[in-house]
Amino acid sequence: MLASQYEKIMSIPLRNNNGRRPPQPGFALFALGFRPFYLLASVFAALSIPLWALQFSGLLEQAYLQGPLWHAHEMIFGFTLAVIVGFLFTAGRNWTNQPTPTGWKLATLATLWVAARVLVLTPYAFPAALANVAFPLLAAIALARPLYKARSQRNYFFVGLLALLSIASGFIHASRLGWAQAPTWLGIQVALDIILFIVAVMAGRVIPMFTNNGVPGTHAKRHEGIEKTALASLLALVVADAAELRGAPLVAIAAVACAAHAIRWSLWQPWKTLHVPLVWVLHAAYLWVPIHLALRCFGEPGWISPSLATHALTVGAIGGLIMGMMIRTARGHTGRPLVADRCDIACFVLVLLAALIRVLLPLALPTQTMAAVLASSALWSAGFSLHAIRAWPMLSRPRLDGRTG
């Protein structure tokens, strides 16, 4: 019952005082948090590969962040963080029955996000650092207000996680500017761990209920012990990476987390969802979480390249879940049916194929790593380009049913 009610809330924004009203023409990009941030994230995901190519060509040689550091930073604090903020602003309004940023406030935050993306490609290091630290912090403050007013204590930790991402960003830029004597990549790894924890929490909330509601006869379930182990092990991984723990202790933590998340995934009965694309894409993407953790176990002693574990998480789990959740929640919050069409399915397939090629091909044939990178990049860019083009009219226009949001 609670699961069914939650999904209804997540897919149908709040009514205004007048209830239903006829669809209105106009521009609605800043009517609710998911709209600008989903669109910006998709456009940026599509453009990130050409931008990286420009860096390699030397045309952006004066950029503050360059090469692999720019790529890692922007996939976390650009692409992924935009979607998280858009989702939390949208869900937060429904959790609390309180307003989250809309209108000029939402437009200001979106502008700050865009400024941060542009500034890291310029020589202006301090403004770039300031913008990147400020965005997650201001998003945390904006989310904290409705949560506190509604005393939604169950969701307070999201404010803390956004604040931690701001701190991780600050650490990265302090190290890059020479203000802190610590490895810049430490901040990247901790930020990735925090993102993984956020992904695991939200997936655990929505995937079982979307499965049970969207696939009749499925009995996806949550086991309290597995849930606690799965999340606690990820928190332990955050602490271990922050403390620069290496070797057998790190492998042990990752192994426990891998087992817990694999069992968690199996309890959701993914094999019963194959005929419902809006559901199976979430299961297929979440499978990359235990794969990522398993690859971390093998990467720690140097048996495989650690980048394979990173891309299993970023392309497979994060990319796949983001694509699935963006399409599902955008459909629900714009008054469209919760049914994936051919374009949606093509987006799912392109991103998941990008993950398979980026991880499995170098794992099987290390000499083909560059070919895997190029093919995966093309598939990723195609998937998010297609989604951005398709999403623009959906996200920029008012809801089809005339409701607000």
How many angstroms from the chain centroid is the CA of residue 44? 13
Contacts of 404 (CB under 8 A, 6+ apart): 13, 14, 15, 16, 31
Residue 24 — very low, low, confident or very high, per pLDDT cuts 50/70/90?
low
pTM to 2 decimal places: 0.91
**pLDDT at residue 61 in the model:** 80
**pLDDT at residue 243 in the model:** 92
pLDDT in tens, 107-151: 999 999 999 999 999 999 999 999 999 999 999 999 999 999 999
pLDDT in tens, 56-88: 777 788 899 988 999 999 999 999 999 999 999
pLDDT in tens, 290-344: 999 999 999 999 999 999 999 999 999 999 999 999 999 999 999 999 999 999 9
DSSP label of 21: -
Contacts of 353 (CB under 8 A, 6+ apart): 379
- Quote the Cα angle for 102-108-111, to 5°: 125
| Residues constituting the chain | 405
Instruction: Quote the CA–CA distance of 132 and 184 in Å, as a whole number.
Output: 15
Sequence-ordered alpha helix ranges (H) in 58-102: 67-74, 81-96
Cβ pair 44, 117 in contact under 8 A: yes
Q: Which CATH fold topology does 2-14+26-396 show?
A: Cytochrome C Oxidase; Chain A (1.20.210)
